[in-house]
Chain A
Amino acid sequence: MAEKILLVDDETDFLEVMSERMSARGMEVTTAESALEALDQVEKGGFDAIVLDLMMPGMDGLETLKAIKRKRPELQVILLSGHATLEKGVEAMKLGAMDFVEKPADIDALTEKIHQARAEKMVLVEKQMETKLKSIINARGW
């Protein structure tokens, strides 16, 4: 089954070419040009990973990351930045980003990270289901 990716960047030309390249590699890609659009898409659900630009007009990448993690904590977010400093990377990881990559990113390396993101999401979803089942069993006294 193809990975479902949400690609978020305010540069339309970047979204178009990345979307085509990722689709050619078997991924199902949805694009969003702003944080608000991205959050609407996240609400609809079904994504394995989000590739998110750090510097966007309005709500920036880190604020968007926080908002995504509040809605869907299991979603894996890979941040893209034109200026990847150690400080920003640490802050991003503390906020729950899976990875922090400098633009221009190597497509094969990014694809590999997306595969990892999907695997990590599946582990988290399984854990969530296990916790839910345990609480049902405990509640019913089985």
Chain B
Amino acid sequence: MTITTELTGWTGLQFFGRTTASVSHDLKNALAIIKENAGLLNDYLLMAEKGTPFKPERLKIVADRIDQQTRRADTLIKFLNRFGHSIDEPLATVDLNEAVSLLAALTQREVAMKQATLQLSMGESPMTVKTAPFWLLTFLGHCMTFSLKALGPDKILRLQVEKVKEGARILFSPLSGLQGAEKGGFPGDAEIALLNSLNAACHIDPDAAMLIVNLSNR
């Protein structure tokens, strides 16, 4: 095993751990709300037993909340499952629009913690490349973390998927705070190792205030 493969492996594990921790945090929040609403229904029952009236429409509100949070938890699990399966095949035809949507879903907590807003601009379907699905997500996850630190004061991050002659590219913009962030050295060793595995390239365009990831078939 080379240093590059070790670094890639470790980076992937870290991303896997960080992502599952983040999604499970949101899952726990959804479950906490469901639990408390179930408890509230018990409170209403106790009130009724003691002869204290309560408004029946409150039951509808509680039922709607439980339904909404159950759907939320289900969606989170669906995305976590897709993420888990991304490691199944070392090489696969990846729909980049779907990959970016999955990335957005997996990083929604990270985006929220930065008080940022994510906007997705998808390319015309199908937009596919043959690549390593898990490592692509790991690399894009690193791009996301870097980009969230380099946002301007309006805190809007736009992800754009575009077809190019050699394959496709994904743009992270506008990174108005790039001046300082560029000095932080992206891509670093971990990202370079991932790029080598993916046969991909990335560069920062400070004038256009964007991070550009170029992907071609492996």
A contacts, CB < 8 Å to B: 10-11, 13-14, 16-18, 20-21, 24, 55, 57-58, 82-83, 103-104, 107
Contacts and interface: CB of A to CB of B under 8 A. Distances in A.
A21 B165 CA distance: 60
Interface residues on B, range: 20 to 34
Given A21-B36, A24-B43, A83-B21, 9 more contacts: A10-B112, A13-B69, A14-B32, A18-B36, A57-B113, A103-B28, A104-B28, A104-B35, A107-B39
A31 to B, nearest CB: 14
Main secondary structure of the interface of B (DSSP, over half): helix
Contact of A14 (B25, B36, B39, B62): B36
B25 A82 contact: yes
Contacts, number: 50
Interface of B: 21, 25, 28-29, 31-33, 35-37, 39-40, 43, 47, 62, 65, 68-69, 112-115
B33, B43, B115 pick with most chain A CB within 10 angstroms: B33
B28 A13 contact: no
25 contacts: A10-B112, A11-B33, A14-B36, A17-B33, A17-B36, A20-B40, A21-B39, A21-B40, A24-B43, A24-B47, A57-B112, A57-B113, A58-B115, A82-B28, A82-B29, A82-B32, A83-B21, A83-B28, A103-B28, A103-B32, A104-B28, A104-B31, A104-B32, A104-B35, A107-B39
Contact of A17 (B40, B114, B115): B40
Contacts of B114: 57
